[in-house]
Amino acid sequence: MLQSKDLLGLQNTSKEEIEEIVSLALDMRKKLNSGEKKLPDLREKSVVTLFYENSTRTRVSFEFAAKFLSAAVVNISAAASSVAKGESLIDTGKTLDAMGTDVIVIRHSMGGAPELLAKNVKAAVINAGDGVNEHPTQALLDMTTMQEHFGSLKGLRVAILGDIKHSRVAKSNIFGLNKMGASVTVYGPSTLIPQGVEQLGCTLAKSREDAIRGADVVMGLRIQLERQKGGLFPSLSEYHKFYGVDKDHLALANSGAIVMHPGPVNRGVELSGEVIDGENSYIEDQVLSGVAVRMALLKLLCENRRK
Ligand code: CP
């Protein structure tokens, strides 16, 4: 049982709750792989996706997840809603509540926006990424892909490379993987590593090679140009040369190591094209886990509402 009506981040989600979501997501993956795309679980439920920032993977996978579980689903982008006329987040949430919405999935550029919404609505709120704070469903789908591949998360060594400072994906993964008994090492340009990053629960490597050596999972992160004012590294080609991952770097990882990336990928920047398309790449598998984990979460949060 999930303890809260909402899923706002993994910092405050227990190991048992993560286990429950990942375990149900693995079942959902099996159903998706066998072509089951019309399950009755959420037949009388309604889901709204409320996106104040761009998205392909997260928004589409939530919509598919809700539809595959037979829920009614409506997608709202801020630009096409009354938000563009000046309506506040809380008033938007109360309007959706008044229509009987069961779950609101929100992505917002402000860290803490999902929490603010959750405190002011009866609907369950899922954080689909808030500023540089957390992206819990991305980390849950990442852990689902890792668990499916390795059988367990305990003892896994995960290297996360790139723009750690602006990455909500890195933070959620560090919080979640630590709880599940995996260890996380990070590396990137010093300008893109937050001060005191170790306090999040990870090790800061001295070099890209040190980070990758002995890793079971090598995860690249997108350079978030939209959250930077520039000047944090000289050019994209130099970024790749000094911080990107190509086939030679991957050879330092454990045999059987997998490559992951939350997407969207800047091809040839964070990872070389050869690595993205190579046999160790699980980037497309992550997308499948994305639909499965969101089905699992919608089901569990809606079950809570029936109690
Ligand atoms: N990984 C991720 O959040 O991708 P989108 O921005 O496409 O949703």
pLDDT tens across the length of the chain (307 residues): 899 999 999 999 999 999 999 999 999 999 999 999 999 999 999 999 999 999 999 999 999 999 999 999 999 988 878 887 888 999 999 999 999 999 999 999 999 999 999 999 999 999 999 999 999 999 999 999 999 999 999 999 999 999 999 999 999 999 999 999 999 999 999 999 999 999 999 999 999 999 999 999 999 999 877 666 666 777 888 889 999 999 999 999 999 999 999 999 999 999 999 999 999 999 999 999 999 999 999 999 999 877 6
Decide whether any atom of ligand 1 lies within 6 Å of the 263 Cβ.
yes
Who contacts 61 (Cβ-Cβ below 8 Å, separation ≥6)? 287, 290, 291, 294
Cα-based torsion angle of the residue sequence 144, 146, 150, 155 in order, rounded to the nearest 10 degrees: -110
Ligand 1, residue 61: give the atom nearest the CA: 8
To test the pocket of ligand 1, the residue of 109, 127, 138, 287 to mutate (highest count of ligand atoms within 8 Å of its CB) is 138
Q: What pLDDT sits at residue 224? A: 76
φ, ψ of residue 306 to 5 degrees: the values are -80, -20
**How far away, in angstroms, is 184 Cα from ligand 1 center?**
21
Q: Residue with the nearest Cα to atom 1 of ligand 1? A: 262
Q: What is the torsion angle, in degrees rounded to the nearest 10, for the CA atoms of residue 295, residue 298, residue 303 and residue 305?
A: -170
- 275's enclosing H/E stretch is helix 273-276
pLDDT value of position 228: 63
Residue 262 one-letter amino acid? P
Tokens of 13: 């989600």
Specify the residue with its C-alpha closest to ligand 1, atom 4: 57
- The one-letter amino acid at 208: R
Mutate to test the pocket of ligand 1, among 52, 57, 59 (most ligand atoms within 8 A of CB): 57
CB contact at 8 A, 40 and 13: no
* Residue corresponding to tokens 């599940």: 180
What is the position in ligand 1's atom list of the atom closest to the CA of 53?
Answer: 6
pLDDT at 307: 67
48/63 Cα distance (integer angstroms): 9
Whether the CB of 167 sits within 6 Å of ligand 1: no
**What is the model's pLDDT at position 185?**
98
Among 116, 97, 102, 100, residue whose Cα is nearest residue 52: 116
Using an 8 Å Cβ cutoff, are 61 and 294 in contact?
Answer: yes
